[in-house]
Homo-oligomer: A and B are copies of this chain.
Amino acid sequence: MEKIRHRYRCEVAFSDTDASGWVHFSKILAYAERAEHDCLASSGITVFEKGKGGWPRVKVSCEYKRPLEFQDRIEVLLTLDHIGGASLCWKFEILKNDGEVAARGEMVTVKVDHAGAVSPISDGERKILEAGDE
Contacts of A26 in B (CB 8 A): 15, 26-27, 29-30, 33
Once the chains bind, are A50 and B21 in contact (CB under 8 Å)?
yes
Once the chains bind, are B41 and A15 in contact (CB under 8 Å)?
no
Is the CB of A34 closer than 8 A to any CB of chain B?
yes
Residues of A contacting B: mostly: mixed
A15 vs B69: C-alpha distance when bound (angstroms): 15
A110 vs B21: C-alpha distance when bound (angstroms): 16
Is the CB of A58 closer than 8 A to any CB of chain B?
yes
Contacts of A30 in B (CB 8 A): 13, 15, 24, 26
Is the CB of A84 closer than 8 A to any CB of chain B?
no
Once the chains bind, are A24 and B34 in contact (CB under 8 Å)?
no
- Give, as a whole number of angstroms, the nearest-CB distance from A33 to chain B: 6
Is the CB of A85 closer than 8 A to any CB of chain B?
no
What does the 1/0 interface line of A52-90 toward B look like (CB < 8 Å)?
A: 001011111111100101110000000000000000000
Once the chains bind, are A14 and B18 in contact (CB under 8 Å)?
yes
In the complex formed, the residue of B with least CB distance to A69 is B19
